[in-house]
Amino acid sequence: MKEQVETRELKEGRYVIIDDEPCVIKSIAKSKPGKHGAAKARVDAVGIFDGQKRSIVQPVTAKVYVPIVERKSGQVLTIAETSAQLMDNSDYSTIDIPITAEDREKLEEGKEVSYLLVMGRTKMDMR
């Protein structure tokens, strides 16, 4: 799920889609309009799932897509090498979420954790 907004409405810490990848906005730099041109914005962001840095430069009136991010919580059922199985607290469905080695050390079975659901993909939200 995604929606369309103007570049001028973006804020740091929010989300944007760059190269069909949902990203967290790290910085926005806006320039003033010139004699013959419109104001431009440079948006620097980091991918939610891959951690890769991306940026776009375009007029502030241009449209961009923003992903709809759902933050949910669930209870850890089992922990495997590269994934964890969670039971969602709202509808009691089970979800397999890929995890990293650092996330694996922080997880415990039976513990409640939060996760992100973005564009049909899931990611553990370890803060």
Taken in order of first residue, the domains within the chain and their CATH numbers are 2-67 (2.30.30.30), 69-124 (2.40.50.140)
- Supply the pLDDT for residue 106: 84
- Supply the pLDDT for residue 35: 83
The three-state secondary structure class of 121 is strand
Q: What is the distance between the alpha carbons of residues 48 and 46, in angstroms, rounded to a whole number? A: 6
- Supply the pLDDT for residue 24: 94
Average confidence (pLDDT) per 10 residues, the chain, 127 residues: 92 94 95 87 94 94 94 91 90 89 84 90 82
CA 123 to chain centre: 9
The encoded tokens of residue 58 equal 């375009």
The encoded tokens of residue 38 equal 């419109």
- Supply the pLDDT for residue 100: 83
**Is 110 in contact with 75 (CB distance < 8 Å)?**
yes
Of 70, 74, 24, nearest in space to 51 by CA = 24
- Supply the pLDDT for residue 9: 93
- Supply the pLDDT for residue 63: 95
Instruction: Characterize 33-55 residue by residue with b for buried, 16 or more Cβ atoms within 10 angstroms of its Cβ, and e for exposed.
Output: eeeeeeebbebbbeebeeeeebe
Cα distance from N-terminal residue to C-terminal residue, the chain: 24
Helices (H), 51-96: none
